[in-house]
Amino acid sequence: MVTLKSGNITLDKIKLEDANDYYLIASNPNITTSFMLDEVENIVEAKSVIEEIINNYSDSEFYYFAIRLDNKLIGVLKSYESDYLELGYAINEDYWNKGYATIALNLTTNYFLKIDRIKKIILGAFSDNYPSIRVMEKCGYSFIGIKKDEFFYKGKSRDIAYFMKEK
């Protein structure tokens, strides 16, 4: 997997040493209610999730980036590949509204659209996650539409707003 960099933001592989910072992201209900992330209740669970992620790095179509600010884990960005590439991201709440998600999404968008087999990237966000939708718009993604009741998550049916960028 590649390392991507812009200024003091680096996207690279997650490491076991990131467990404390990952825990701050994956245990925060303000994050996990707006992004489908494996929730953790303690550092041991955080390490277990990270070990599973690390084991998947051998798959050439698996991308899970640690988003780092000056070497500190502040977020994650993951992808799913099928007929297209789907990306999702989460940022530690202490780093919201500072442009880091926009930098991370731009870095990965530019990287993935250079790969021949990837013709388009799809992003989805819960339709009430306006900050994430704004990041997608700033990164040049076009609104496709909203799928009503797309997921049942955290005890309720959720609408998903979808955005796309093509080569």
Residue-wise pLDDT tens digits, 59-103: 877 889 999 999 999 999 988 776 678 888 999 999 999 999 999
Distance CA 120, CA 129 (A): 22
CB neighbourhood size of 133 (10 A) = 19
Interatomic CA distance for residues 97 and 14, integer angstroms: 23
Helix%, strand%, coil% for the chain, nearest 5: 30, 35, 30
157 C-beta neighbours (distance < 10 Å), count? 10
Q: What is the pTM of this model?
A: 0.88
The pLDDT tens digits for 4-52 are: 999 999 999 999 999 999 999 999 998 888 787 878 999 999 999 999 9
Q: What mean pLDDT do residues 106-134 have?
A: 91
Query: Over 82-136, what HEC string results?
Result: CCCEEEEEEECHHHCCCCHHHHHHHHHHHHHCCCCCCCEEEEEEECCCHHHHHHH
Q: List the chain domain ranges.
A: 4-119
CATH superfamily of 4-119: Gcn5-related N-acetyltransferase (GNAT) (3.40.630.30)
